Amino acid sequence: EVTSVAGQYRHAGAADGTGAQIEFHAPTSIAASVTSDGSDVLYISDYENNSIRKLIRRVNQDSTSTVVVTTLAGSGVGMALDGTGTSAAFFQPSGVAVSQYGTMLYVADEGNNLVRKIYTSTGVVSTLAGRGESALLDGTGTGALFDSVWALASTDEDRTVYSVDRSANAVRKITTYPEWNTEEWSESSRLGPNDEANAVSVDAWGNVYVVGGLNPNGIPSSESWSMFLRKINSAGTIKWTFTSSGTGNELGQSVALDDSDSRHPSVLVTGWFSGERTTFGNRLVSATTSDQDVFILKLSAEGSVQWVVAGGGELGDYAFSVAVYDLTGAAFAAGKFRSPAVTFGDVVATRHPASPEYPGEEEDPSDGFLLKVSKDGEVEWVTVIGGGHSDFANGVAVDEGGFAYVTGSFRSTNCEFGNPYPQVLRSTIGGSEQYIIDQVRTKTYICPIRNTVVTAVVTAEVTAEVTAEVTAGAEFSEVLASACPHFPSASDSL
């Protein structure tokens, strides 16, 4: 089942607070960490609000949870300004990455072509690299230039940051300790002008993994895209490049690392593909129709394919983000589907009943989804987010307790989520609304009634409540707690 972490999202806005007070406007990226007292903390790039938001979730003694959202930094005015908290300014921050120990947050300030850093304890913002000009240039601090810096990853005990320059098709490495802010290397020479680098991740040894699409024909609209995953060591040397091949297009959108087996780490990639025959290494998959289908691909650290999960329906379906729960290796993918129904393995998900079966000339209905796949590539479940209009899930992150957090946008008047839709997000202005939801683990609570009563209580009580008003996240947790006194147990796992 699914519950709202931050309350009722009436419309796009910038309000801090708890529950129904909280508003976002186009959140694009999310990073998970923990506080010193063990509470979950999320950092969110609030793109249209030109700010960085901080969400803290604490579990109370009575097993309910309290969620508080504040603005960590950013005045809301689109400009570049260092400072503390809301005296600092960003312009369309698109990506965030939290350091290994949670002391530093790095921000891809796309509109300013800068990489910024924030001390999480004080909210002090400074410019790590770049000077606001749009170009690809290596250098130190403001001597380096970026071109639409989009995504970030952090590793090496808070010392190294990797960035993806979307327009320049480049992966950059930035050393942050001591205060040198020095770009050590840039890898772009083997990407063409029409290729795309979409996401980056870093393992414990400083190896960088970048994913995107190659278009060797140089025609952006042609049927020639191939997904690529490139591994680069900490010195900037390419170790290997994995590519797909097929009769249509394949594009990698997100990459995450599975460290559940420290001796044999692996890499997860998600994105979309089209065409009757698509090959990922030694695995052959076929799209349901000529439109796009979703894939989740798992490779070893040496680049060999371990498994691939593909799924979709008769219209275009896409995955935008992937995350891994380190304790079990379970993968979560978030995206949207336009098909009336999509199939992943043995699991079928259908679009909201209010959606027209096929899009008309002036409407493009879609629902968001959150998909869970086991460490061995078995599809476990799919959760749907939708309400009859254009709704989608854009990003996913998993905290140390195994909770998966999803962010995205919805345009439906009533955007329902969960199976079978235990909660509702209500829109009052008919525009594009924002949300963050939390995939609550109802199947694995350490409780003798977890497989029967808990699920029944969640479905019956919460569904009844939302007919009158939206159920807040804390109230939803209380429903679970009333059915299972152990919720949530520290020993729970996905």
pLDDT in tens, 321-330: 999 988 888 9
Residue 346: how many other CB atoms lie within 10 Å: 7
- Pick from 50-59, 381-390, 473-482: least confident: 473-482
Beta bridge partners, 68, equal 56
Q: 51: buried, middle or exposed (CB in 10 Å: 19+, 13-18, 0-12)? A: buried
pLDDT in tens, 117-129: 998 888 999 988 8
Check pLDDT > 80 for residue 190. no
Q: What fold characterizes domain 2-483?
A: Neuraminidase (2.120.10)
Domain boundaries defined on the chain: 2-483
pLDDT confidence of residue 490: 28
C-alpha pair distances (Å), 224 with each of 12, 68, 152, 249: 38, 46, 27, 6
- Pick from 246-255, 256-265, 291-300: least confident: 256-265
Please give the residue that has the higher pLDDT: either 385 or 427.
385
C-alpha pair distances (Å), 220 with each of 185, 189, 249, 346: 28, 19, 11, 35
CB 138 within 8 A of CB 182: no
Average confidence (pLDDT) over 177-204: 65
pLDDT in tens, 357-380: 555 544 567 888 888 999 999 998
